[in-house]
Amino acid sequence: MKLQRIAILGGTGFIGSHLVPKLAAAGCRVTVLSRNREKHRALFVLPSVRVVSVNMYERAALAREFAGHDAALNLVGILNETGGTKFSRAHVDLTATAIAACREAGIARLLQMSSINAGSDASKYLKTRGEAETLVKNSGLDWTIFRPTIVFGAGDGLVSRFHRLLKLSPVLPLARPEAKIAPVYVGDVCGAIVQCLAERQSLGRIYELYGPDTYTLLQIVRMIRDAAHLRRAVLPLPDALGWLQACAAELIPGKPFSRDNFNSLKLDAVGTRDGLAELRIAPRRFATLLPDLLSPDPRERRMNQARASQRDIGRHAYEDVN
């Protein structure tokens, strides 16, 4: 299989912002489909990358943009419902539309981003992720599904989020402190996607992507605090108070935490089958990369991120691309 023309839904999000430059560097021609291309002008400078404004829920419009591509990649996902954006619409309806657009455009290859524990009834997020997976598996397309645990890296929702929260107050109350997480580095997730685009063995496969080390959420937050040299108390909450915290946080603009997030954390974000090992990718360690992510010097942080990106390109072999 050759890496050629890839259409990406959700290519302007956290994972997409790391993935698109890697695909461009590997010689792919990438079309990033967005609701408003003008908000993502930074992508315009990348060679062989085109950013297009499109209503991703309109099958006909999506099929027109898919035409001429060799594969479609759906990275769209939301962690919380806001306004008219519901889990069922973002995860299930959009996946159904993408599948129909693939068929109409003649694309046989579909890669789908999902989540560890997808299909569980523990939360709406996990339930709708599972429903989307079922659509993909029954689509008749050549599919591959990725189930990452919580992903960390520059601009993430883990290190960056808790770093901001820790700076706000001398005490950080923490819900579900004993939830277990094996955080996976965004560069390794991107490496898995690029490799699966190039390998026929990935067809019809689900890859659980998780890091080599398992921590409790409390341990992770304390590691972030210590690496950032902050003098803060992290207060573990019992579930009753954690639930009240989730209810209150839903009223804050941006909804930093929710009852659905609380419910998702009832399940440990730890995989059972090592997809990175199956893809011959040696995972990066959370503790090793954390200091770089929290570097107080923006220039040093950018340099560290650039070096990490170059290491990723070298670490993840692109096979059969010529």
Q: How does pLDDT run across 233-252, given as a tens digit for each residue? A: 999 999 999 999 999 999 99
Tell me, rounded to whole angstroms, the distance of Cα 239 from its chain centroid.
Answer: 27
**Position 309 pLDDT exceeds 50:** no
Give the E-state strand segments of 141-214 in sequence order: 142-148, 151-152, 171-174, 180-181, 184-185, 205-209
Residue 132 is which amino acid?
Answer: A
What is the pLDDT, as a whole number, of residue 17?
A: 93
What pLDDT sits at residue 3? 55
- What CATH number was assigned to the domain covering residues 5-315? 3.40.50.720
- Tallying the residues shown for the chain, one arrives at 322
Q: Cβ(228)–Cβ(162) under 8 Å? A: no
Ramachandran bin of 254, using left for φ above 0, alpha for ψ from -120 to 50, beta for the remaining angles:
left
Which one-letter amino acid corresponds to residue 309? S
For the beta carbon of residue 304, count every other beta carbon within 10 angstroms.
Answer: 17
Residue 55, pLDDT score = 94
pLDDT of residue 107: 97
CB 315 within 8 A of CB 22: no
Maximal C-alpha separation, the chain: 57
Q: What is the 3-state secondary structure (H, E, C) of 235-302?
A: EECCHHHHHHHHHHHCCCCCCCCCHHHHHHCCCCECCCCCHHHHCCCCCCCHHHHHHHHCCCCHHHHH
pLDDT digit string, tens, across residues 103-162:
999 999 999 999 999 999 999 999 999 999 999 999 999 999 999 999 999 999 999 999
* 311, pLDDT greater than 60: no
- The reported pLDDT for the residue numbered 37 is 75
**38-42, 71-75, 84-88, 286-290, range with the lowest pLDDT:** 38-42
Task: Tell me the pLDDT of the chain averaged across its residues.
Answer: 90
3 state DSSP class of 158: coil
For residue 215, give the DSSP letter: E
Encoded tokens for 162: 């808790």
pLDDT at 1: 53
**Short-list 88, 104, 76, 112, CA closest to 209:** 112
Query: Given this model, what pLDDT does residue 297 score?
Result: 55
pLDDT score at 273: 96
Query: What confidence score (pLDDT) does residue 322 get?
Result: 23
- Please give the torsion angle defined by the CA atoms of residues 152, 213, 80 and 253, in that order, rounded to the nearest 10 degrees: -60
Q: What are 267's two structure tokens?
A: 């399940």
CA distance linking residue 62 with residue 210, whole number of Å: 32
Q: Is the pLDDT of residue 85 over 60?
A: yes
Tokens of 163: 């770093």
Q: How far is CA 199 from the centre of its chain?
A: 21
pLDDT at 254: 83
Helix axes 217-227, 159-168, angle to 10 degrees: 70
Band of the pLDDT at 46, cuts 50, 70, 90?
A: confident
Per-residue model confidence (pLDDT) at position 298: 46
Residue 2: pLDDT band by 50, 70, 90 thresholds? low
